[in-house]
Amino acid sequence: MEKTIEQKFMDLLKEQSSYSEAIGLMAWDMRTKAPKKGMDNRSEVLGVLSQKVHELQTSSEMKHYIESLKGHTDDPIITKAVEEAEEEYERTAKVPTEEYRAYVTLQSKAEAMWGEAKANNDFESFRPYLEELVEYNKKFAKYWGYEGNIYDALLHNYEPGVTVAKLDEVFPKVRKALTGLLEKIKTAPVQPDPTILQGHFPKAQQETFSEEILKRMGYDFDAGRLDETVHPFAIGLNKNDVRVTTKYDEADFRTAVFGTIHEGGHALYEQNISENLAFTPLATGTSMGIHESQSLFWENFVSRSESFWENHYDLFKSHAPDRFNELPLDEFYRAVNEVKPSFIRIEADELTYCLHIMVRYELEKALINSEIEVKDLPALWNQKMEDYFGIKPENDAEGVLQDIHWAGGDFGYFPSYALGYMYAAQFANRLNEEISMEEVIKAGDFKQIQEWLTQNIHQFGKMKKPLEILTDVTGEELNSQYLIDYLTEKYQKIYQF
């Protein structure tokens, strides 16, 4: 029996998805296990496979299926898949295939060089790659088109519906609130003692504790794994193979523990997408902002809460060095929630985190708008850190070279972190109206939380747009006040101001 056009369309999507999964697996390998000498060849292979995906997305066959099925199918998944495929077709077709292949190859080589540059504190060795990446992104933005700011074309890749105009309205309000809180905290009468957390904490014991927390969150190790990398990430190859990575610091366990929980939040999203969406472009998170809302929800609203540690402190001490046995819970809790301006974004406390994002947003927006040049980044980065935090990086490894995102060409990505934090606060507020988060977390009952997140967010994949998810779940559009209120209430209590 000859296949229907719907079946042929789904077969083409499956072929495209299969190549994308292979690309994802190779990308994971390059960031975790691959030998240094294999990087150049691997980059070329990634370029070839990415070109193949590009060709499938823009093929005459794909165009035929889109035109034939658009408005002519009753299947909601196929309807949405056609919509997604059409958008991919229109945007991808505007980028010449050879340019796209060259760009993907450049991305892989740039990531490898970034790793060396960071290790050697050598921005100049990375600069030529970054300059090329910036120029490609400017060119692609013009291919795709935009109505307001050229940076909007890149924002769309990560957070559809969000624009520079919206960010420039919301971010200053949040920045003012956070810097105001930060000033009060600096002079507060009660200050946590972070030194009680410092000292040698073996990597193996950190890993065992982190794995146990992932299991309690609901992460399925039969459909995933935990590995070590320079810059932590989670990657969903498919819902049954979602991998988490982390970075261990034996002098400060917080890096790995909270980082692993953060990436675990991403992974839970991918593991709980509906099986019905498999092998379609819908079988992933709807946006990076919604994705970040899940990771930040687990990292901050769950694992940095007092309720979490009331339940898990004994488990922690069973894996931690003996010095923690005599440390009172209240002192521990306040210490892990210390607010202190720091250089490294992934190690930032939850109050200053958004300020790190705003530094990056302002710089990359200026780069794409040709207002600054790549060569000026180190000095501009350091100046913004001094303006926002009152501290200045001593070297580029703890400054402009610390993040992998620009090396991967991910311009437009950073705002998603701050947006995700705001989304997470709205979701937490809504969840609290249905169940008491404090009580269920204190009881260690993460199942209720996970089921709520799956029912309201995870299962839909890309069946819903990010702002549609937000309004459906919370009943309102983006509202940064929930985040401001959450941080104000929490830190007034901890610092007693």
In a structure prediction context, what are the per-residue pLDDT tens digits for the chain, which is 497 residues long? 899 999 999 999 999 999 999 999 999 999 998 998 998 899 899 989 999 999 999 999 999 999 999 999 999 999 999 999 999 999 988 999 899 989 999 999 999 999 999 999 999 999 999 999 999 999 999 999 999 999 999 999 999 999 999 999 999 999 999 999 999 999 999 999 999 999 999 999 999 999 999 999 999 999 999 999 988 999 999 999 999 999 999 999 999 999 999 999 999 999 999 999 999 999 999 999 999 999 999 999 999 999 999 999 999 999 999 999 999 999 999 999 999 999 999 889 999 999 999 999 999 999 999 999 999 999 999 999 999 999 999 999 999 999 999 999 999 999 999 999 999 999 999 999 999 999 999 998 899 999 999 999 999 999 999 999 999 999 999 999 999 999 999 999 999 99
Pinpoint the alpha helices (H) of 392-480: 415-434, 437-442, 446-456, 466-474
pLDDT of 230: 85
pLDDT of 231: 83
Among the options 88, 132, 263, 364, which is catalytic? 263
Strands 241-246 and 234-238: antiparallel
Distance between the two ends of the chain, CA-based, in angstroms?
74
Q: What is the topology classification, in CATH, of domain 164-495?
A: Neurolysin; domain 3 (1.10.1370)
How far apart CA 213 and CA 218 sit, in angstroms, is 9
Neighbours of 330 (CB within 10 A): 12
* pTM (2 d.p.): 0.92
- Give strand pairing partners of 245: 227
pLDDT of 330: 96
pLDDT of 7: 96
Neighbours of 454 (CB within 10 A): 18
Quickly tell me which residue has 């974004």 as its tokens.
345
Q: Is 283 helix (H, G, I), strand (E, B) or coil?
A: coil
Quickly tell me which residue has 């970054």 as its tokens.
130
pLDDT of 445: 86
Tokens of 223: 């459909």
- Give strand pairing partners of 238: 241
pLDDT of 347: 83
Question: What residue ranges do the domains of the chain occupy?
Answer: 5-136, 164-495
Confirm whether 263 is a catalytic residue: yes
Taking phi first (over 0 means left), then psi (-120 to 50 degrees means alpha), and beta for anything else, what does residue 461 get? left
pLDDT of 33: 87
pLDDT of 470: 97
pLDDT of 398: 95
Can you say how many angstroms the Cα of residue 161 is from the centroid of all Cα atoms in its chain?
Answer: 18
